[in-house]
Chain A
Amino acid sequence: MIFGIAVHGAPYGSEASASALRFATAALAAGHTLHRVFFYHDGVNLANGLTVTPRDEPSTQADWIALAGAHGVELAVCIAAALKRGLVSDAERERYDLQAASLHPAFSIVGLGQMIDAVGCSDRFVTFAS
């Protein structure tokens, strides 16, 4: 089966990104594919490239990036939600003349249409709420 996953909860403020990661890992292990993981609402905060995780704590962000790299999964962040929350790519930093960029390069900035595309292209769509 093809799965689409949405993550609505922020890391630390919510278990959503960690729960979604465990689900994604299990789905891939069972031979399913992930069409896209779409980060929306506060879930976009997982894409913050300026976070520093204490060495004795797991990094859900690093684990997602590793999974995405190993399986060619797109980690898509909604541009509208991201900009409002200060998740800014180099291009957006320049466009809006901001002090810094903050988006981790492993995440791609996309429009809301990519969530609907994930709905349309998946056999099952699972939302991890905040």
Chain B
Amino acid sequence: MIRAVKVCKTFKTTDRREVKALVNFSTHIKKGEVVVIIGPSGSGKSTFLRCLNRLEEIDSGEIIIDGVRITEKKVDINKIREDIGMVFQLFNLFPHKTVLENVTLAQMIVRKRKKKEAVDTARDLLHKVGILEKENVYPSQLSGGQQQRVAIARALAMHPKIMMFDEATSALDPEMIGEVLDVMKKLAREGMTMVVVTHEMGFAREVSDRVIFMDAGQIVEEGTAEHFFTNPAHERTKVFLSQIL
């Protein structure tokens, strides 16, 4: 489903230093697989997600999604993005649109669905994430957890083949993390291909097929969540896990 081959990405900071975010990063994610990426801040996990839908352009290497080499210039990236849902740390709901409009907008102007079809799809998904009663409310009137669930519904409404979560629970108050994770778990059990950047090891243990530990733009160690809990091999992994657990 997703294959990354020797991906390199370097950022220039404002004081012109070069920061290597991804260094010859290679991995393969199968259809239906739930992959959790963990690692210290600045290790390149979010950059990897953002390269998968080309919110960031890579410097070298290649990324192939569903048989399409998306890193080539002539690829219609908008078409690719329709099939990759993304959920952000800060939700990024459209504040001038109601909850329902947030979920229907892209369906209508990108997928070209009729209004009725878009609204039906949106209501189904809002019901699924448990927030249907708020459909006519503006995002600013919702709690963080509610906003993030709407954001998930908005991404799902495009019927994506892959869902990416970029620290989706990091900006939430502790008591709201659960409701968002529950939605993500439900999605994982339904067989969605998911790439999840998170520090929630409980989530990783419960539903992930594989955990990747990244540091300095490279994979340090990967394996099942159980492996990370019981016998992590590298010293860096142990130090990191002792900090977040």
Partners in one complex: no
